[in-house]
Chains A and B, each alone.
Chain A
């Protein structure tokens, strides 16, 4: 067992045992990023209740931006104060970890959410309805699609400004998710960010039935996977007698020391450990969209309002991979010989499955959905490396990938025809002739997805594959590179379609967005190129953040 302990210390540092904290004690400073965001969400609900309708949009927008920026500043402050390294510890009575990976991921989520708010607030793309500027969200989501109530709401110029507090609630949950240090906190965080996402998915202004169908599917399957996860939590509690990460890890590596009399029949039973771990893993794999738990992804990505899709694709993935990393590196390192082969299999079918099915897609949003599945596979390859390099490469990849994704979906909102966004791929033919700048920007994102050098995609992919190869999974890298080659086909096919095909007479036009979306896209392109041209600083940053607290 000593070898396990030494491996264990590779990526974790010992913190004071949580049980020694004498009295309930909440470290408000360390938790401030989450508290700021959740507090702002509550204030946002109050704004909906108290502020006149015409002022809500601007107050909500301002509140969201300020709250997210303040939370990001708090994360930077904590990192500068050494909470990412020397002062990393477990806060909130063992429920929340404040360490390098947590702060890095929270920072990424907050930045991504900040940009997502820009795309949520865009009001120039949809044509004005009855003289009122409208965004991507339904006028009155509760109204029956196409019914008189909806028409009245549109005529009255209603908008769903609730999306901002809902978004903030989701962000709050996502901030907790990768930092959760016990299984119950993990589960609660999961629900806190999932429920707002289900709602956001249902709010599309156009094609509302599709949007609602997507939301229901997402909700049903999400609930289904939550149940698995919760069952897994129960089994793990039965095995270890605790839901705390450190406690479970100790039982996994050293065996149960003090048998709880109430759990005498189950504690230390390896079957419970194995089944429980597999079920908890499954819950997280569902969230990251790994094969075979990916079925929701294309349907939901396609049906949800595009700004929501972008936010979900970027931020959810960051949060879920963060939680997965912590689970595998802090709770289950002692049984990595059990889960590594299984996860190898998952990574392989995810990479191949995503890349292969994407080939025949005809809708740009579904294409990007399958692309996100393939990318989940690439990230999994880094996760399984079980080394410090593995952690830092995954952190870098998540940061790089989320900016590309947000930018790409923001571009999708611009290409429109009479029916709203023109997401059918064939309509994009010749886009490069009509709008060279937009097509070029999208091409940059596609090249980054494909992992072409000088884009962030290459730096990220190189980092995870390197980590995977060093951990001895060379053939996993081979499969990864093959999948990248398959994936490159459909990315480049879109570029060929945009630049080398004749535009259609009734093709879509590119709407001129407000500075909000322009800013979002510009940040996406800049991040993509900067992380591609000079990745070293950010790789170092991720490298410094690569140690979990235990």
Chain B
């Protein structure tokens, strides 16, 4: 079976090549071809999964060595794959949710002229993302990492005729470069330290490596994760990335690509376990981001941006869990999978609403839509219940475990982290209820003469229904007998955390904050009519609307600062470097003009010069012997 791993990546890659190089003759069938390759990859993944389940827990890891990519002296880069329980989880998530979103896009993008290209990019994304999670070494992982960055860039800017989309794509690309730099430096550091960047030998060597190197590696990998997963301080691009078509937001900027940072940290668990300082940085980033994203999500009136804030916040939970070490890895991945279901479902629901509302994204112009879009309402509602952690639904199980693990870190840190996670849960309940109420409840705030809300076609609703089913049951299924934790344990290792507060207390506290969050939202948006124009709001609201001033901060510090540095360097270049160059050139020209005077054109002066030259030559030769 291990020889089939490469096919997982190859299928969508072939699809992308066909669609992007196939030209206009594939315009009419392109969407079907793209979907076919995606589903084929999912089917293969499912077959490999079935095969894996048939083996004992200890020998489920498969390797496939495809070829040696760069063999130069001691430097050896292999194209080799590793399929273990962690990668398997991702493969099923990526190809499963990916296939559903391909199907959804058939309906969503039906009237787009460049639909073939869109599906080509989606396939390209799948191939790169699968490469990222299947690589057995960091260099190949990096290739996938850059590949998903490229696909993300192309898809955010897919509607390139809109300047805002083009700018958003560029912003996402640039911010990601900062993180990518961290990953590339980490890989270089790895090579100089360990002489390799394959997972197994690197992880085996961590106990022989100095604390400083490991901390540096951990921080660099965290920087990479921050870029890709939109964590503070590299979070600014995710909100703008919502300029892309909604299926893209669902697949790349909610379910899969943005979780690559969580994968990276979990995969590099051996490094982080040995570097407590780096781990501390990870949990701090996670805790800060989960609050940051939640606060931003509260203030947004654009439905997709509100969901983007939520994504940021939920990934903050995952990063927090991953930073907790063996007591958290499995829960990070579990939350990642359940989040993949409900957040993709929520985004597809948002897309469905926009589809029916002439692409309107402002929730203040929605209202009372539940009657017009019953399927969307129900699936979105189930996703909503899942994300706020309604008892029995997916989010309840996965988020609860993370909060518990945060307390289990112990000491003051444990209380702070646990408190932040609980506070985040309350805010989540608030902003998601706000989205729900503003969209589906209350009175109509749209003009019936212009807008005719309607339910979306089956090709769009069926994926939403499937994802809603996942949102409801996945968490519960995973938690029966801790089946998910046991499944991942051979890869990520697992330790039961010892929380100072009992599991029951944590659950009860979560329920309480949930009720408080929902209650406040109901009080603000359910009981009172929602104004169609946003009120001015408090200072915090206004700051949150501006993404907590992240762009202003970046502008003042990095853009202005960068301009200052560039300006100074240009000045230096002009005066010093150019001065030296032009000065040299001018002096050479002057010297040339001077020497030219010797060329008089008179043969007599030439002869004299030759005679002088001969005399010098003879004298010099004699002198050399004398010396």
**A contact residues vs B (CB 8 Å cutoff):** 216-217, 220-221, 224-225, 228, 270-271, 274-275, 277-279, 281-282, 285-286, 292-293, 295-296, 298-299, 337-339, 341-342, 345-346, 353, 356-360, 486, 489
In angstroms, Cα B588 to Cα A42, docked, is: 50
A340 to chain B, nearest CB (A): 8
Known: A298-B599, A338-B625, A359-B588. 11 other contacts (CB 8 A): A217-B603, A221-B607, A221-B610, A274-B621, A274-B622, A285-B617, A292-B609, A346-B617, A353-B595, A356-B595, A357-B596
Q: Contacts A281-B617, A356-B588, A360-B592 known; A341 to B610 CB distance under 8 Å? A: no
Q: Contact between A359 and B624 (Cβ–Cβ < 8 Å)?
A: no
A491 to chain B, nearest CB (A): 14
Can you list 13 pairs linking A and B with CB atoms under 8 Å apart? A225-B610, A275-B618, A278-B622, A282-B614, A285-B617, A292-B609, A292-B612, A293-B614, A295-B609, A298-B599, A339-B624, A346-B617, A360-B593
A224 to chain B, nearest CB (A): 6
Q: Contacts A221-B603, A221-B607, A224-B607 known; A279 to B595 CB distance under 8 Å? A: no
Q: Which residues of B contact A295 (CB under 8 A)?
A: 598-599, 606, 609-610
Counting chain B CB atoms within 10 Å of each CB, the highest count among A225, A278, A281 belongs to A278
The 3 closest A-B pairs by CB, nearest first: A292-B613, A295-B606, A359-B592
In angstroms, Cα B591 to Cα A190, docked, is: 35
In angstroms, Cα B586 to Cα A360, docked, is: 11
From A342, which residue of chain B is reached at the shortest CB distance? B620
B226 to chain A, nearest CB (A): 42
A511 to chain B, nearest CB (A): 29
Instruction: Name the one of A293, A337, A345 contacting B610, with C-beta atoms under 8 angstroms.
Output: A293
Q: Mark B79-106, 1 if CB is under 8 A from A, else 0.
A: 0000000000000000000000000000
From A275, which residue of chain B is reached at the shortest CB distance? B618
In angstroms, Cα B610 to Cα A489, docked, is: 29
Q: Does B585 contact A (CB under 8 A)?
A: yes
Total CB contacts across the A-B interface at under 8 A: 88
In angstroms, Cα B599 to Cα A224, docked, is: 18
Q: Contact between A274 and B592 (Cβ–Cβ < 8 Å)?
A: no
Q: Contact between B593 and A216 (Cβ–Cβ < 8 Å)?
A: no
Counting chain A CB atoms within 10 Å of each CB, the highest count among B601, B613, B616, B625 belongs to B613
Q: Contact between A337 and B624 (Cβ–Cβ < 8 Å)?
A: yes
Q: Which residues of A contact B625 (CB under 8 A)?
A: 270, 274, 338
Instruction: Name the one of B598, B603, B610, B617 contacting A216, with C-beta atoms under 8 angstroms.
Output: B603
B163 to chain A, nearest CB (A): 34
In angstroms, Cα B603 to Cα A295, docked, is: 9
Q: Which residues of A contact B599 (CB under 8 A)?
A: 295, 298-299, 357
Q: Does B500 contact A (CB under 8 A)?
A: no
Q: Does B589 contact A (CB under 8 A)?
A: yes
Q: Contact between B603 and A279 (Cβ–Cβ < 8 Å)?
A: no
Instruction: Name the one of B589, B601, B614 contacting A279, with C-beta atoms under 8 angstroms.
Output: B614
Q: Which residues of A contact B617 (CB under 8 A)?
A: 278, 281-282, 285, 342, 346
From A337, which residue of chain B is reached at the shortest CB distance? B624
Instruction: Name the one of A278, A285, A356 contacting B618, with C-beta atoms under 8 angstroms.
Output: A278
Tell me the residues in window 565-589 of chain B with beta carbons closer than 8 Å to chain A beta carbons. Answer: 585, 588-589
Instruction: Name the one of B588, B603, B607, B621 contacting A338, with C-beta atoms under 8 angstroms.
Output: B621
Instruction: Name the one of A220, A341, A345 contacting B607, with C-beta atoms under 8 angstroms.
Output: A220
A384 to chain B, nearest CB (A): 13
Q: Contact between A356 and B591 (Cβ–Cβ < 8 Å)?
A: yes
Q: Contact between B621 and A277 (Cβ–Cβ < 8 Å)?
A: yes
In angstroms, Cα B55 to Cα A123, docked, is: 88
In angstroms, Cα B622 to Cα A358, docked, is: 32
A258 to chain B, nearest CB (A): 24
Tell me the residues in window 327-380 of chain B with beta carbons closer than 8 Å to chain A beta carbons. Answer: none
Q: Contact between B606 and A217 (Cβ–Cβ < 8 Å)?
A: yes
In angstroms, Cα B621 to Cα A270, docked, is: 11
From A299, which residue of chain B is reached at the shortest CB distance? B601
Q: Which residues of A contact B606 (CB under 8 A)?
A: 217, 221, 295-296
Q: Contact between A282 and B613 (Cβ–Cβ < 8 Å)?
A: yes
Counting chain A CB atoms within 10 Å of each CB, the highest count among B601, B610, B620, B624 belongs to B610
Q: How many residues of B contact A (CB 8 A)?
A: 27
Q: Contact between B624 and A341 (Cβ–Cβ < 8 Å)?
A: yes
A167 to chain B, nearest CB (A): 25
Q: Which residues of B contact A360 (CB under 8 A)?
A: 589, 592-593, 596
Q: Which residues of B contact A299 (CB under 8 A)?
A: 599, 601
Q: Which residues of A contact B620 (CB under 8 A)?
A: 278, 341-342, 345
Q: Contact between B614 and A338 (Cβ–Cβ < 8 Å)?
A: no
A217 to chain B, nearest CB (A): 5
Q: Contacts A274-B621, A356-B588 known; A224 to B610 CB distance under 8 Å? A: yes
Q: Contact between B610 and A286 (Cβ–Cβ < 8 Å)?
A: yes
From A217, which residue of chain B is reached at the shortest CB distance? B603
From A340, which residue of chain B is reached at the shortest CB distance? B624
Q: Which residues of A contact B603 (CB under 8 A)?
A: 216-217, 220-221
Q: Contact between A292 and B610 (Cβ–Cβ < 8 Å)?
A: yes
Counting chain A CB atoms within 10 Å of each CB, the highest count among B609, B610, B613, B617 belongs to B617
In angstroms, Cα B624 to Cα A451, docked, is: 33
In angstroms, Cα B588 to Cα A360, docked, is: 9
Q: Which residues of B contact A224 (CB under 8 A)?
A: 607, 610
Counting chain B CB atoms within 10 Å of each CB, the highest count among A216, A281, A299, A356 belongs to A356
Q: Which residues of A contact B593 (CB under 8 A)?
A: 360
Counting chain A CB atoms within 10 Å of each CB, the highest count among B592, B598, B601, B621 belongs to B621
A174 to chain B, nearest CB (A): 22
In angstroms, Cα B622 to Cα A270, docked, is: 9
Q: Which residues of A contact B610 (CB under 8 A)?
A: 221, 224-225, 286, 292-293, 295
A22 to chain B, nearest CB (A): 39
Q: Contact between A339 and B607 (Cβ–Cβ < 8 Å)?
A: no
B592 to chain A, nearest CB (A): 4
Q: Contact between B624 and A338 (Cβ–Cβ < 8 Å)?
A: yes
In angstroms, Cα B595 to Cα A486, docked, is: 15
In angstroms, Cα B613 to Cα A228, docked, is: 12
Q: Contact between A357 and B592 (Cβ–Cβ < 8 Å)?
A: yes
Q: Contact between B621 and A339 (Cβ–Cβ < 8 Å)?
A: yes
Counting chain B CB atoms within 10 Å of each CB, the highest count among A220, A225, A292 belongs to A292
Q: Mark B556-569, 1 if CB is under 8 A from A, else 0.
A: 00000000000000
In angstroms, Cα B592 to Cα A346, docked, is: 18
Q: Which residues of A contact B614 (CB under 8 A)?
A: 228, 278-279, 282, 293
Q: Contact between A356 and B621 (Cβ–Cβ < 8 Å)?
A: no
From A283, which residue of chain B is reached at the shortest CB distance? B614
Q: Which residues of B contact A217 (CB under 8 A)?
A: 603, 606
In angstroms, Cα B618 to Cα A278, docked, is: 5
Q: Which residues of A contact B588 (CB under 8 A)?
A: 356, 359, 486, 489
B221 to chain A, nearest CB (A): 39
A372 to chain B, nearest CB (A): 15
In angstroms, Cα B606 to Cα A353, docked, is: 15
In angstroms, Cα B490 to Cα A19, docked, is: 90
Counting chain A CB atoms within 10 Å of each CB, the highest count among B588, B592, B614 belongs to B614
Q: Which residues of A contact B589 (CB under 8 A)?
A: 359-360
In angstroms, Cα B612 to Cα A220, docked, is: 16
Counting chain B CB atoms within 10 Å of each CB, the highest count among A216, A225, A282, A339 belongs to A282
A270 to chain B, nearest CB (A): 7
From B608, which residue of chain A is reached at the shortest CB distance? A295
Q: Which residues of B contact A271 (CB under 8 A)?
A: 622
In angstroms, Cα B607 to Cα A292, docked, is: 10
Q: Which residues of B contact A274 (CB under 8 A)?
A: 618, 621-622, 625
Q: Which residues of B contact A270 (CB under 8 A)?
A: 625
Q: Which residues of B contact A357 (CB under 8 A)?
A: 592, 595-596, 599
In angstroms, Cα B617 to Cα A277, docked, is: 10
In angstroms, Cα B513 to Cα A92, docked, is: 111
Counting chain A CB atoms within 10 Å of each CB, the highest count among B596, B607, B616, B618 belongs to B618
Counting chain B CB atoms within 10 Å of each CB, the highest count among A295, A337, A342, A489 belongs to A295
Q: Contact between A489 and B585 (Cβ–Cβ < 8 Å)?
A: yes
From B595, which residue of chain A is reached at the shortest CB distance? A357
B156 to chain A, nearest CB (A): 40
In angstroms, Cα B606 to Cα A281, docked, is: 18
